Amino acid sequence: MAWQNLDANANFDSDTAGQTNSFWLPEIFSSKVQIAFRKSAVVQAITNTDYFGEITQYGDTVNIIKEPQITIDTGYTRADTDITSTSLTDQELILKVNYAQAFQFDIDDLERRFSHINWQDIAADNAGYKLKDSMDSGILTGLVAGTEGAVGSGLSIGTDVTTDLTALPAAGSGGTGELILGYGASGEVKPVDLLGRLARLLDDNNVPAEDRWVCAAPAFYEALAKEESKLMSSDYNAGMGSLRNGLVQDGMVRGFKMYVSNNLPTPSNAGYVLLHGHRSAVASAEALLTTEVVRSTTVFKDIVRGLHVYGYKVLRDNAIGKVYYNFA
């Protein structure tokens, strides 16, 4: 039998619950680690990521030039001596890389030498997931709040108040309160009818049909599947694993790619909020600037740390909107 120190403060006491660094004792343990369930990250799927390679450090800016809009002279005749000329402007949008986050953990020499698990790899993988999840939550929350450019009011339905909207408001009027979704009873709006209205609003703004998306909470897709089962596969993509990146199903509903996310913010008064739009409406950029391993100067440990920066910007407010809703 291997000798062990029974002092509760020592690294050798396996009988102490939660004992720090107690799991490298020479006993037999499973080599599999229980990985926590992970939320889906959807931001990279619903935003324009063309600018990822153009940032190098926190505080960088990416200047995005807007397409000039030309005025057409519709009344030209042979008698005209002068055609109105449009002066080209170099109007630009600025994507600021103004969000930074970091992680740090340490690996004890004893843990590294005697453990049957590569804790550094597992911890680094978890840190990578947490960074992506934090960025995903930050951008989705910011889009709803209008932090880096407001979403289009003409593409939005409802507001964050408890007043019920029991019918779809006139196109573009928005309405005050939360839209009440249901399954066809009086005063309820079917989820599929809401999607039809959102598609119409994008059509009204000449938004291309390709790369349209909807991002909503799981409760919305439960209602959509219950109300229109023919639109949603019963097992969400037949077990193909697409929920890992938030995509609910391979096919589209009313022209939208359907994404589910638990990172959408919880409204203060309304029940839920969903986002919809076109992939070109928002630009996002990120960079993992520094990942390093340094030696502790006080104990026998390696310290692993990393710095991650990102930014985003609403480029087309006429191609993204939000809906506040609840269920009857």
Identify any residues that bridge with 305 across adjacent strands, giving them in sequence order: 104, 292
Q: Which of 56, 100, 105 is nearest to 305 (CA)?
A: 105
What radius of gyration, in Å, describes the C-alpha atoms of the chain? 26
Domain of residue 185 covers 148-285+312-327
Domain co-membership, 122 together with 254: no
The mean pLDDT value of the chain amounts to 82
Domain co-membership, 124 together with 211: no
User: Residue 67 pLDDT > 90, yes or no?
Assistant: no
Alpha-carbon span 63 to 177, nearest angstrom: 37
User: Residue 239 pLDDT > 70, yes or no?
Assistant: no
Structure tokens at 323: 């809906």
Alpha-carbon span 150 to 78, nearest angstrom: 45
Domain co-membership, 164 together with 124: no
Domain co-membership, 155 together with 245: yes
Instruction: Return the minimum-mean-pLDDT range out of 44-48, 50-54, 319-323.
Output: 50-54
Domain co-membership, 219 together with 301: no
Domain co-membership, 160 together with 182: yes
pLDDT score at 277: 98
Find how far residue 220's CA is from the centre of its chain.
16
User: Residue 250 pLDDT > 60, yes or no?
Assistant: yes
DSSP class per residue in 77-124: -TT-S--PPPPP---EEEEE--EEEEEEEEEEHHHHHH-SS-HHHHHH
Q: Report yes or no on 45 lying in a domain.
A: no
pLDDT score at 243: 52
Domain co-membership, 159 together with 246: yes
Domain count within the chain: 2
250, 244 in Cβ contact below 8 A? no
pTM for the structure as a whole: 0.80
Find how far residue 39's CA is from the centre of its chain.
10
Give me the mean pLDDT over the 187-211 stretch. Answer: 95
